[in-house]
Structure 1
Amino acid sequence: MEDHTARRFAQVLRVMNEGLAAGELRGGDAAGLALVFCCLMDQHFNILARLPNAAALLSPDRADALLSRDRADALVATFYDGCG
């Protein structure tokens, strides 16, 4: 489980670094921004977990799909679609 968590955080961290480098993000360091994003997602997932179709929204396969995406919009898709 720790390996999955570390890989998912690394994905968010990479996107934050890219956003800072491109000038698309401001006002923080990549690790801090990644942590804030992950905290926001935790709350989103807590809400999704209470929906009737939670198992479909929060499956391990959908979460792991994030790791195979190369585009920053994977983070946006995660927020709108659940775990990716």
Structure 2
Amino acid sequence: LDVPGREFLLRTIRELAETRPELTLVFITQRIEDILPQFTHGMILKEGQIMADGLREEVLTEENLKQAFGMDLQLIQTRSGRFWTVIE
């Protein structure tokens, strides 16, 4: 998806999560910036194996991402609650 299309999709998912809390949403991505604040849990896979899983704030850490991607990076959380990675 291009950037406007991706943001439209993420906005739609966010609205669905906020208006239909009884639904369980499963979202799969390789892009850290696609992880919405409404997602409460996460899982990181490395070489097809579960490397970390649990609450989002416990799973989505710099250490876990460095280990998963095998590179030095910085994890930045924006005011909107979304994350970005900066490769060092």
| TM category, shorter | under 0.3
Q: Which structure has more strand as a fraction of its residues? A: 2
- Structure having the higher Rg: 2
TM-score of the pair, normalised by structure 2: 0.26
Q: Which structure has more helix as a fraction of its residues? A: 1
User: Does 1 or 2 have the higher relative contact order (CA < 8 Å, sep 6+)?
Assistant: 1
TM-score of the pair, normalised by structure 1: 0.27
